[in-house]
Structure 1
Amino acid sequence: MNRAAQTIRDNLQTSLHLRQRLLEDDATTETVTRITQAIIDCYASDGKVFFCGNGGSAADAQHLAAELSGRYYYDRPPLFAEALHVNTSYITAVANDYSFAEIYSRWVTAIGRKGDVLIAMSTSGNSENVVRAVKKGNENGMVTVGFTGESGGKLAGLCDHLLAIPSTDTPRIQELHMLYGHTICEIVERAVFPKTTD
């Protein structure tokens, strides 16, 4: 077997092992259930859901926001969900005039309201701009959610709910963030807009 084929098999095996571990982890399932209910309750109160992250986590944040604001499995009214980095003029202005560490917290100051949900995605749990956003979200009375790796980092002591994937391998952590994120979108869509026909 050549090196590329071995890498493919190794990554699949690592992913399968991690998924099996989580499948048997009732505590993580309960955490995701609580996160899902917090989002459902937010929408029931005419609230908004925001996501933030850096790099691949920013891409995942934008992806999940689109699943809620567009549609997931079926046609229904849109839900307010947004990734905080999508206004590039704002991001570059604040990063230049203040600091990159302030890009999310400053925006949360402006738009975050009590009862809104902020989902902070950081595999280390230590990204300073994400940590500061959660701190500001807590000050605003938002429900704060962390998507992290196994240690939770600084976010572990700050978030109302913490989904900590039991791994230190960034790609595998992000893959599970998306699996759980997609599952949350599916359950939220079904709860907020129940299908009356098949």
Structure 2
Amino acid sequence: MNTLFQHNLTQHLALFNRLADLDDSVMAAARLVTASLRHGGKLMVCGNGGSAADSQHIAAEFTGRFIEDRKPLAAMALSTDTSALTCIGNDYSFAEVFSRQVAGLGRAGDCLIGISTSGNSGNIIRAVEVARAAGITTIGLLGRDGGKLAALCDHAIVVPDRVTARIQEAHILIGHTICGAVEQQLGLAPLPEDFA
């Protein structure tokens, strides 16, 4: 009899074996982030629930270190300021918790990654709308069929699965890959030996 772990691992491997199809899309997203950082912009990342944690994880890889010790890169997760989240949520609405931060903190030339496993998170949609109006490049890290965000973002990466946990597992792989690729494109980390 299969255990839950074996079941989850089977689902995970089946999805990850299909992720090679996203190679061009992931590397294109990395180039967009690199272009922003190279020209003095910053990366903002937002998501809800597990995707909020993923936002913080990804931003931390940029401001901390990832492949090699290097200078910090400008990145922030919009889910970390509880005073801002509760103020905006209370005084306006939960739909505005990220968009008002984007409006206040973002500048033309910045980059926003909105994470939504459904592609239909209302507050991510609002953040993307505000970002695009401000000249901020938008990347959707999405799941399922990409939802409404697939068409709203400048660039969408859609993980082709319907199970939220599997999508989130893929999102972390993609976030790590974007961070590593940005480091390489900025000349801050060498290519792994097996690339040669």
TM class by smaller structure = over 0.9
Deviations 1:67-117 (A, max 9, x none): 001110211110110001211111111111111111111111111111111
Task: Please give the secondary structure, in 2, of the residue aligned with 1:190.
Answer: helix
**Contact between 1:42 and 1:48, CA under 8 Å: does it hold in 2?**
yes
Deviation at 1:195, TM superposition (A): 4.5
Q: Sort the Cα spacing of 1:100 and 1:72 in 2 relative to 1 into closer, same or farther, 3 A.
A: same
> Are 1:12 and 2:6 matched, yes or no?
no
Deviations 1:137-162 (A, max 9, x none): 00011110001112111101100111
Deviation at 1:21, TM superposition (A): 1.3
Which ranges in structure 1 are unaligned for 5 or more consecutive residues?
A: none
Deviation at 1:124, TM superposition (A): 0.6
Which ranges in structure 2 are unaligned for 5 or more consecutive residues?
A: none
Deviations 1:150-175 (A, max 9, x none): 21111011001111000010000000
Instruction: For 2:14, give the aligned amino acid.
Output: H
> Are 1:113 and 2:110 matched, yes or no?
no
Query: 2:125 and 2:154 mapped to 1: Cα distance?
Result: 13
Query: 1:109 and 1:72 mapped to 2: Cα distance?
Result: 29
| CA-based RMSD | 1.4
Query: 2:172 and 2:36 mapped to 1: Cα distance?
Result: 21
**Contact between 2:63 and 2:75, CA under 8 Å: does it hold in 1?**
yes
Match of 2:147 in 1: 153
The partner residue of 2:78 within 84, 107, 113 is 84
Alignment of 1:32-51 (within 5 A): 32-51=26-45
Deviation at 1:52, TM superposition (A): 0.3
Deviation at 1:190, TM superposition (A): 2.2
Task: Please give the secondary structure, in 2, of the residue aligned with 1:12.
Answer: helix
Match of 1:171 in 2: 165
Q: After TM superposition, what 4+ stretches of structure 1 lie above 4 angstroms from structure 2?
A: none
What number of residue pairs does the alignment pair up? 191
The partner residue of 2:132 within 119, 129, 138 is 138
Instruction: For 2:7, give the aligned amino acid.
Output: D
> Are 1:67 and 2:61 matched, yes or no?
yes
